[in-house]
Amino acid sequence: MSVMLFIHVLTIGVWAGCVFTEVVLEVVLEKQPPESSHLARLHALIDRYVEIPAIIVVAATGVVLLQSVQWDTLLEVKVALGVTAVVLNSIAALTVQRRYQCLQSGNMSGYQYWNLWHERIGIGCVLSITGAIVVGGYRLVL
């Protein structure tokens, strides 16, 4: 395994760990009032300081790795799922930041609006990153 592939796989683990952590936070804290649950703040901090940097490293190392790889159908599927995961997670990070800003300003209708969009986009994030990991893992053991 090359150093670049190692960094790519390790950073995918960090990213997937963030997604898993955020899913648990969302499920556990969603029933509490937004003002006291700290959900919006915690999720925004995880996105800003861990998840978004991990997504950038995954995307950058992925692009570098694609320069010297033999393309096949599984790789095309993995790349499509990975790109989808990057795009959806980037949009989800925007919704998380907007939700937190609305909470800070006391705009609860805005909070609910961005929370709903985050839930909708989040499903695609989880499915696409999971699919990319499964296909990528399968390709690694072939």
Residue 124's alpha-carbon distances to 32, 37, 44, 61, 121, in angstroms, are 24, 25, 19, 22, 5
Helix spans in the chain (H): 3-29, 34-37, 39-46, 52-66, 73-105, 108-141
- b/e code 9-18 from CB counts within 10 Å (16+ = b): bebbebbbeb
pLDDT at 122: 94
Note down pLDDT in tens along the chain; length 142 residues.
799 999 999 999 999 999 999 999 999 998 899 989 999 999 999 999 999 999 999 999 999 999 999 999 999 999 999 999 999 999 999 999 999 999 999 999 999 999 999 999 999 999 999 999 999 999 888 8
pLDDT at 140: 85
pLDDT at 30: 87
Residue 57 token pair: 């490293």
